[in-house]
Structure 1
């Protein structure tokens, strides 16, 4: 009699285990988990909250390797040029890209006229 009860308990446990696994698989593929990906803490919307420290040139450490620059087409403004570029630094597998923008101010020259005597 005890053997029959043990067999029933083991069979019930096995059926319950299979039922739980089937239910988990059914809910995994139904799309109910899409809500979790929408609220992901690593989305681009929440990117500013993940970076606690601002990127500045003074925050560069000496162990960063300078890898180059990329300069874009300069824009002409009313009093000079505005140049945009990117500075690229590597530290192991991490690459830091710093946007760099500067203005070149051209002084206003007046063409000298010949002196009238």
Structure 2
């Protein structure tokens, strides 16, 4: 995975992205994924170093559905969208349709 640049942080709360942001890149790093449901913050998942997030917005090209908040020291790699588009477009139309259907179902849950 190629990285355009990285970001280091030890402040505890830094948004890598927020819900409703448009997706430009996919991120890798250690963060808390959360969203608000009926006015209450819900932690969806806490990702460890090396996990990937931001993939749903990449696949369906819609604004993000959750926020990613750094917890402790992190390093985020950002992969250029053009590179990901190039690789994604190598997939068959059927596989891309499967990925879009999976993302749609995940967003609806």
More strand by share: 2
More helix by share: 1
TM-score range, shorter chain: under 0.3
Structure-1-length-normalised TM-score: 0.16
Structure-2-length-normalised TM-score: 0.17
